[in-house]
Amino acid sequence: MNRERRVVILTALAVAALAIWIHLPCIHNQFLDWDDDVYLDTVALHLPLSWGTVGWALKSFTPFYYHPLTWLSHALDCQLWGLKPGGHHLTNVLLHGANSALVFWLAWLLADGTRARLAVAVGVAVVFAIHPLQVESVAWVAERKNVLCGFFFLASLCAYVHHVREPRRRGWFWATVALSVAAFLSKPMAASLPFVMLAMDLYPLRRVESAGWRRVVIEKWWLFLGCVALAVATIEPQARVEAMRGLASLTLGERFFVAVRGAVFYLWKLVWPAWLLPYYPLGDVHVMQREFLVPLAVFAVITALAIGTRRMAPAILAAWTAYLALILPVSGLLQSGAQAAADRFMYLAMVPILLLLAGGCEWLWQRGNVAVRIALVVLLAGEAVFFGLRSRQQIAVWHDREIFWQTVLARFPQSGVANLHFATLLNEQFRFSEAVPHAQQAVVVLADESLPHAALGLAYLKTRKYQESAQELQEALRHDPDLVATRYNLACAYSRLGRVAEAFDALQKLLPVAPQFAQAAARDSELHALREDPEYGPRLRSLIQSLGS
């Protein structure tokens, strides 16, 4: 092994170790009720791990995406660690460390011919490894799909660069194909892959100059075919679970403004992540407001600059194109969910911007005097320290459900989603009086959904507002009759109101399909009036006994 290769390998390992060390506190975090429960509950139905699990993962299109490799990674974690969150978090941390090493390798390959090649690659990889925007993807178990897809995505780009520079070695081509397929099977966001490769063909690979656009596009037909298959496999499941409802009411023009605001928002947070949140509500979209017009102006200036300098400085156009390709699937034009933005969407999208900034810093270093170089070193060192400290602080936000939702509510106290989740948590902790105002706010914002009414109905029941409880629980069941816990709570409310006939009727319909409530019905103080009723008490006991037999 020559000296250069040894330096590259050792540096890549050092970057990976830094990324792991920064994010290691994640292993002390808990699971969240923010998709973690959905993934784990779904995987639990297909354990222990077997060929049947593999078959299920390959055929599964629910509940969010088609991402069989992500399902299998969760299944493997459950097999190894059970429901101990530390092991699941550790897998995310290790994947991020591997991704940081791959970013270093990719930057090293693309910086070929640069005087400060090693410094450029290290700078890009270190910022990728420790930036606070990365915490969401690493600290959130449900975002396994992001770090897993990132691994195969980055590895496929590295293989592609080797294939371009060593076309006679067909192994690199087939490695690119295999890694691209693995990225597709990890998360639909891999649909950006061919467009990022095209941006690399423009610069720094400069293949467009020699081969022309037609050839470099046609040779990627298999990637574009994969993108079409991903689109078909993603849109239908997303529509089925109504994940796009947050944007369904927006016009195409309004979605464009949301997308533009997000693109500029991420750039600002990349440079100065002063405050970051695990959830940014979309809110009302008024395109003539400053929060949309200013990003539009910034977006237009950057785009004009990239196009105007495409011959003199093609790196700007290549980086801007790759960046937009990476955030397009989650930009607001096509994204799922009701969030305005999300830190995790910048996980890979920051790489082309970091490469461009690193190139700019290298240019300043080569042409600047001593004062410029000192200022550059101080600035970059300060940013690195700030990024590391902010990442550690941000990891704490993801520690548990209470801290998570309190953080969101501190910034967005009117958020329906945040208030609903926090009210649900408070109900689970028997802090019913504290849950009432949060559930009330959730009902105001999410009036057409069942769960806010169910949460408020339970809180009212336990704070002895029985009439209001019955009304809210009835409303919840009107939206979703399959909420069995809500049907049980409604029976309790009826009993408290003295409407024992209605309480018994509700339980008579519920217990045969949800016998897990039978023992509670036999002892619950909320049903005391029903059990003591001379007519319906014996009938309830007979119903419970029949279920027990």
pLDDT digits (tens, 9 = 90+) for 419-472: 999 999 999 999 999 999 999 999 999 989 999 999 999 999 999 999 999 999
First to last CA, the chain: 74
Sequential DSSP letters for 447-496: TTSHHHHHHHHHHHHHTT-HHHHHHHHHHHHHH-TT-HHHHHHHHHHHHH
* Alpha helices per DSSP H over 272-313: 290-308
pLDDT of amino acid 337: 61
Contacts of residue 485, Cβ cutoff 8 Å, sequence gap at least 6:
454
pLDDT of amino acid 244: 46
Burial of 229 (0-12, 13-18, 19+ CB in 10 A): middle
Domains annotated on the chain, with CATH: 3-246+367-401 (no CATH), 413-548 (1.25.40.10)
Residue 349: how many other CB atoms lie within 10 Å: 26
CB 161 within 8 A of CB 122: no
pLDDT of amino acid 33: 86
Segment 472-497 shows an average pLDDT of 94
Q: Does 161 have pLDDT greater than 60?
A: yes
Segment 160-164 shows an average pLDDT of 94
CA 308 → CA 301, 343, 354, 356, 396, distances in Å? 10, 30, 21, 16, 44
Q: Does 248 have pLDDT greater than 60?
A: no
- Picking from 101, 149, 158, 92, the residue whose alpha carbon sits closest to that of residue 124 is 101
CA 202 → CA 317, 318, 351, distances in Å? 9, 6, 16
Alpha-carbon distance 24 to 90, whole Å? 8
